[in-house]
């Protein structure tokens, strides 16, 4: 296996790992193809199925890339597939629909969605486990080592991982600081939060009141100027002008709220599913010692908070 320039097991943790969303295409290949020239590999990956996948992914990101050429009659566009992966410059773990075996060789192409970077390489399967998420679409969880990766691709992947990791550290640091603040001073935090929400509600209601007063005053002057009516008649006319708009606004609001709530629910469900998958990815990749260490730290933190923080 050394002749294929596989990353050695002792160096597997030499690269930082992150959890990310990517567009992934892979194809199981025969080991003899790894000794073929690069054009053979390019022809393998540039088949119609993968072209469809990559073209669709790039087309959905048209705001970040120039518009794609559409004079491709061989392409049959289909839905974009984004997967959660645990990736580094040395390998990755991902949900998979195929029951691969340890030692299988893969042709892999990755589109890093956040940076729109394309990585093309070979890989060898290290393990294939049943997916603990009970996902019927991806019933397996696969770990693979990258092989014969071009230096340019590896450098791009290292930069992407470093950038993503730095961003995740900042976000995790902010979340940790928020959690510590809430745990140490829950009364003060929730008091400030309620006060802020109350203040925002007051500002919103005041804005609505001012907007209504402005509209009513403008209609009063307009009706009085056009029809030369007295104050009472003007107010009656303005009232009957405003009422249909109010009912129409309530009608539109009633139509918009249920779909909005469904979108929020679906987005939250997808978000927590990704977080759950990410936590499972993280837990699977830990050694037994690290798992024990994490459990001990968690239990110790809970005990410390119960006895000293409450």
CATH number of residue 126's parent domain? 2.40.10.220
Task: Specify if 152 maps to a domain.
Answer: yes
Q: Going residue by residue through the chain, which has 310 residues, state the pLDDT in tens, using 9 for 90 and above.
A: 434 444 344 344 456 778 788 888 888 887 666 655 444 444 544 444 444 443 443 344 333 333 323 333 333 323 346 777 888 888 888 888 888 888 899 888 888 877 778 888 888 999 888 876 655 677 888 889 998 888 888 888 888 888 888 888 898 889 888 888 887 788 888 889 999 999 999 999 999 999 999 999 999 999 988 888 888 899 899 999 999 999 999 999 999 999 999 999 988 887 777 677 667 767 766 788 988 988 998 888 788 777 766 5
Task: Specify if 91 maps to a domain.
Answer: yes
Torsion, Cα 32 35 39 40, to 10 degrees, reads -10
Helix (H) or strand (E) holding 180: helix 151-184
Give pLDDT, residue 181.
83
Give pLDDT, residue 262.
93
Task: Specify if 230 maps to a domain.
Answer: no
Give pLDDT, residue 198.
94
Listed in sequence order, the residues at least 6 apart from 120 whose beta carbon sits closer than 8 Å to its beta carbon are: 41, 42, 45, 108, 109, 110, 150, 153
Task: Specify if 197 maps to a domain.
Answer: no
Buried b (16+ CB within 10 A) or exposed e, 164-181: bbeeeeeeeeeeeeeeee
Beta strands in the chain (DSSP E): 18-29, 83-87, 91-96, 105-112, 117-130, 140-147
Q: Distance between CA atoms of 277 and 269, rounded to whole angstroms?
A: 12
Task: Give the tokens for residue 299.
Answer: 């239990």
* Closest to 84 in 3D by CA, of 96, 100, 72: 96
User: Rounded to whole angstroms, what are the CA distances from 308 to 294, 299, 305?
Assistant: 21, 14, 5
Listed in sequence order, the residues at least 6 apart from 26 whose beta carbon sits closer than 8 Å to its beta carbon are: 106, 107, 108, 109, 123
**H helices, E strands: number in the chain:** 6, 6
Task: Specify if 39 maps to a domain.
Answer: yes
Task: Specify if 76 maps to a domain.
Answer: yes
Q: Distance between CA atoms of 232 and 16, rounded to whole angstroms?
A: 75
Q: Phi first, then psi: give them for residue 226, nearest 5 degrees.
A: -80, -40
Task: Specify if 239 maps to a domain.
Answer: no
Give pLDDT, residue 99.
86
Q: Domain span at residue 60?
A: 2-167
Radius of gyration of the chain measured on its C-alpha atoms: 29
Listed in sequence order, the residues at least 6 apart from 285 whose beta carbon sits closer than 8 Å to its beta carbon are: 17, 86, 93
Domain tally, the chain: 1
* Closest to 16 in 3D by CA, of 158, 155, 170, 172: 158
Helix (H) or strand (E) holding 107: strand 105-112
**Mutual angle of helices 186-227 and 151-184, in 10-degree steps:** 100
Task: Specify if 242 maps to a domain.
Answer: no
Give pLDDT, residue 7.
39
Q: What is the DSSP letter of 6?
A: B
Q: Distance between CA atoms of 303 and 297, rounded to whole angstroms?
A: 10
Q: How many Cα neighbours within 13 Å face the side chain of 7? A: 23
């Amino acid at each position: 296996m050394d002749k294929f320039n596989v990353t050695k097991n002792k160096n597997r943790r030499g690269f930082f790992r992150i959890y990310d969303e990517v567009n992934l295409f892979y194809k199981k290949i025969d080991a003899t193809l790894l000794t073929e020239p690069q054009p053979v590999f390019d022809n393998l990956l540039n088949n119609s199925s993968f072209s469809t996948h990559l073209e669709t992914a790039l087309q959905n990101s048209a705001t970040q890339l120039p518009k794609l050429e559409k004079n491709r009659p061989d392409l049959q566009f289909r839905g974009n597939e984004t997967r959660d992966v645990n990736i580094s410059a040395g390998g990755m773990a991902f949900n998979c629909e195929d029951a691969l075996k340890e030692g299988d060789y893969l042709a892999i192409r990755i589109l890093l969605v956040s940076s729109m970077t394309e990585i093309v390489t070979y890989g060898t399967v290290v393990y294939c486990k049943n997916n603990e998420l009970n996902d019927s679409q991806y019933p397996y969880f696969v770990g693979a080592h990258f092989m014969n990766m071009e230096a340019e691709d590896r450098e791009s992947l290292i930069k992407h991982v470093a950038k993503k990791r730095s961003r995740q550290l900042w976000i995790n640091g902010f979340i940790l600081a928020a959690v510590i603040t809430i745990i140490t001073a829950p009364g003060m935090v929730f008091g400030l939060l309620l006060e802020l929400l109350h203040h925002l509600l007051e500002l919103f209601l005041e804005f609505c009141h001012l907007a209504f007063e402005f509209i009513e005053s403008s209609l009063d002057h307009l009706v009085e100027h056009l029809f030369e009516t007295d104050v009472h008649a003007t107010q009656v006319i303005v009232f009957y002008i405003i009422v249909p708009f109010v009912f129409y606004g309530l009608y539109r609001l009633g139509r918009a709220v249920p779909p909005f709530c469904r979108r929020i629910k679906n987005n939250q469900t997808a978000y927590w599913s990704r977080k759950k998958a990410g936590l499972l990815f993280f837990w699977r990749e830990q050694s037994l010692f690290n798992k024990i260490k994490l459990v001990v730290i968690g239990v110790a933190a809970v005990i410390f908070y119960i006895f000293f923080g409450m």
